[in-house]
Amino acid sequence: MIKSIVYKSNTGHTKQYAEMLSEVLKVPAYDLKEAKSNLKKNDEIVFLGWVCATKIQGLSKVKKYNVKCIGAVGAYPTEKNYIESLRQANKLNVELFYLRGGLNFNKLTGLKKKVIQLVGNMMEKENKAENQEMIKLFKDGANYVSDENLKPILKYINDNL
């Protein structure tokens, strides 16, 4: 039985998804620190982590638990190929779901903020027709967190766990 949702969030989107799942599934949502003091080795969990340069953050810290499925939270649009590349980049052998988060410039700081601004400026310079949505996202930020995005992972949990 799933004991909790464990998450690693930088600017809040992943935390939002973890809390939404927690409410529906009636299990607590813990960040990594809380998980350490509340969970035991091999406890069954669902892990949600934000994506940084294709790597799901926090994955190495949850190896001691029985991770039943993973939600990767990123800013890019949801596409089959993208989910597959995340699975490969993170060498996963459990079910992976992609949950679109967003970009929150009010909470991004330091180098991370600079990197995003740099990528945004590069895309803006290139000004490709197919990048217009991303150019706007990298300029203004956006929050795509929704109940709709959670449906596939919720269905998997309800059907299998």
| Mask for 71-90, x = binds ligand FMN (CB under 6 A) | --xxxx--------------
Note the Cα 142 to chain centre separation in Å: 15
Q: Is residue 4 close enough to count as binding ligand FMN by CB under 6 A? A: no
The residue among 12 and 28 lying less far from ligand FMN, judged by its C-beta, is 12
Q: How far is CA 150 from CA 14, 31, 43, 92, in A?
A: 11, 19, 23, 20
Site size toward ligand FMN, by CB under 6 A? 23
Q: How far is CA 114 from CA 6, 119, 135, 143, 159, in A?
A: 28, 9, 15, 19, 42
Q: Give the binding range for ligand FMN (CB under 6 A) out of 32-40, 100-108, 121-129, 132-140.
A: 100-108
Q: Is residue 118 close enough to count as binding ligand FMN by CB under 6 A? A: no
Q: Give the binding range for ligand FMN (CB under 6 A) out of 24-32, 46-54, 128-136, 149-157.
A: 46-54
| Residue 73, SS3 per DSSP | strand
Q: Is residue 50 close enough to count as binding ligand FMN by CB under 6 A? A: yes
**Exactly one of 112, 121, 133, 140 binds ligand FMN (CB under 6 A); which one?**
112
What DSSP character marks residue 129? G
Q: How far is CA 68 from CA 29, 89, 95, 141, 153, in A?
A: 15, 19, 7, 32, 11
Round to whole Å and give the CA distance between 107 and 10.
8
Q: Is residue 105 close enough to count as binding ligand FMN by CB under 6 A? A: no
The residue among 52 and 94 lying less far from ligand FMN, judged by its C-beta, is 52
Note the Cα 154 to chain centre separation in Å: 15
Which residues are near ligand FMN by CB under 6 A?
Answer: 9-15, 50-54, 73-76, 101-103, 108, 112, 115-116
